[in-house]
Amino acid sequence: QVQLVESGGGLVQAGGSLRLSCTGSGRSFSFSSYAVAWFRQAPGKDRELVSAISWTGVSTVFADSAKGRFTISRDIEQHTVDLQMHSLKPEDTAVYYCAGDREPWRVDVTATPISEYIYWGRGTQVTVSS
């Protein structure tokens, strides 16, 4: 059974920073072999991709809204993928989810359909006050 657990959410003022962490585990799931993505969903809106990182960490992709403000990284030994968020805005307020790829060893995440991310965490709330 695959388990993804998000942490690091909270309340922050506009202009502040937060670091989200996704930890993966599971008997048949080698976290380090899979691409991982961060999504978010604000009330009344569809879930949207924020960023993703390949299993090697070489390929990354960011939503336009995240470019220049967010970075994504992974620690193979710790089985974590982190989303560092700076210059946060009230419109960044959402539940943030991490998700694992269907297939291992994907080297390019720039064109990966959302439907390929099939392992999901329960989410962590990020609230940015104005």
Please give the pLDDT value at position 12: 98
Please give the pLDDT value at position 29: 61
Cα–Cα distance for residue pair 95/113, rounded to 1 Å: 20
Phi first, then psi: give them for residue 68, nearest 5 degrees: 85, -10
Q: Going by C-beta distance under 8 Å and a sequence separation of 6 or more, which residues neighbour residue 6?
A: 20, 21, 22, 96, 97, 98, 121, 122, 123, 124
Q: What does the radius of gyration of the chain's CA atoms come to, in whole angstroms?
A: 14
- Banded model confidence at residue 23, pLDDT cuts 50, 70, 90: very high
DSSP 8-state secondary structure symbol assigned to residue 27: T
The candidate with the shortest Cα–Cα distance to 60, out of 7, 20, 106, is: 106
Asked if pLDDT for residue 96 goes beyond 90, the answer is yes
% of the chain exceeding 90 in pLDDT = 81
Please give the average per-residue pLDDT across 94-121, as a whole number.
Answer: 93
